[in-house]
A and B are shown apart, each in its own frame.
Chain A
Amino acid sequence: MAKQIIQMEMNRVEGDLEIKLEVDDHTVTDAWCVGTMFRGFEQIMLGRDPNDALIICPRICGICSTSQLYAATSALEVAYQAPVAPNAIRIRNLCLMAESVMSDARHTFLMFAPDFCDEVYRSHELYEQMLELFEPPFKGSLARQTIQFSKQVLGIVIAFGGQWPHSTYMAPGGVTCTLNKLKLVECLSVIESYIGWYEKAVLGCLSERWLTLQNAADFFAWLDETDSHQNSAVGLFTRFGRSIGLHRTGKGSGNLLSSGCYYDSDKWQPPFTEAACLQPAGFFNGETNELETFSQAHISEHLRYSWFVDHVGGRHPFDSETKPDYRPDSEAYSFAKATRYKDQVVQLGPLADLVVAGDPLITSFYQAEGSNTWLRQFCRLHRPVSVLQQMHKTVNELIQHLGEPTFIKPTPVLDADGCGFINAARGSLGHWVKIRKGKIANYQVITPTTWNASPRDSEGRRGHWEESFIGLEIKDLANPIELCHVVRSHDACLVCTVHFLNRDSKRSFSI
Chain B
Amino acid sequence: MSAISLDCHPHLNAASISHDEEASCLEPLSTLLWLECGSCSGESMAILGAEGPGREGYNLLDFLENNQVQLLWHPSLSLESPKQLQTLIARILNGQQDLTFLCVEGSIINGPNGTGMFDTLHGQPKRDIIRALCDRADFVLAMGTCASFGGIPAAPPNPTESTGLQFQNDNHGGLLDQDWRSRSGLPVLNLSGCPVDAATMIKTMSWILKGMPLELDVRNRPFTVGPCLSDTLHPKCGTSEKVGYSCYGCISAKFPLSKAMFRQVEHPEKEKPFDRTSEQTYINYRRAIQTGVFSCG
Contacts and interface: CB of A to CB of B under 8 A. Distances in A.
B76 A11 contact: yes
Interface stretch (A44-52, A203-211, A421-429): A44-52
B240 to A, nearest CB: 9
B28 interface: no
Contact of A171 (B41, B46, B83, B262): B262
A39 B146 CA distance: 11
B82 interface: yes
Contact of B245 (A38, A106, A171): A171
Given A8-B81, A11-B75, A159 B42 contact: no
Interface stretch (B54-62, B130-138, B203-211, B289-297): B54-62
A316 B53 CA distance: 43
B99 interface: no
Contacts of B195: 62, 165-166
Interface stretch (B9-17, B117-125, B213-221): B117-125
Given A51-B260, A156-B52, A44 B244 contact: no
Interface string B106-148: 0101011000011111110000000000000000000000000
B50 to A, nearest CB: 4
Interface string B34-78: 001111111111101111111101011100100000010011111
B44 to A, nearest CB: 7
Nearest to A183: B53
A338 interface: no
Contact of B42 (A43, A154, A155, A166): A166
A37 B38 contact: yes
A233 interface: no
A40 B159 CA distance: 6
A37 B46 CA distance: 21
A167 B85 CA distance: 33
Given A40-B153, A49-B262, A62 B53 contact: no
B256 A55 contact: yes
Contacts of B238: 162
Given A49-B262, A114-B79, A136-B79, A38 B119 contact: yes
Interface in B147-181: 152-153, 155-157, 159-160, 162
Interface of A: 8-12, 14-16, 36-41, 43-44, 48-49, 51-52, 54-56, 59-63, 65, 106, 110-111, 114, 117-118, 136-138, 144, 147, 150-152, 154-169, 171, 175-178, 183, 186, 190, 324, 326, 407, 495, 500, 502, 505, 510-511
Given A62-B45, A151-B59, 19 more contacts: A11-B82, A37-B120, A38-B119, A41-B152, A43-B159, A44-B152, A49-B259, A59-B40, A61-B40, A62-B42, A114-B79, A138-B77, A147-B49, A159-B53, A162-B229, A175-B244, A176-B264, A176-B265, A495-B39
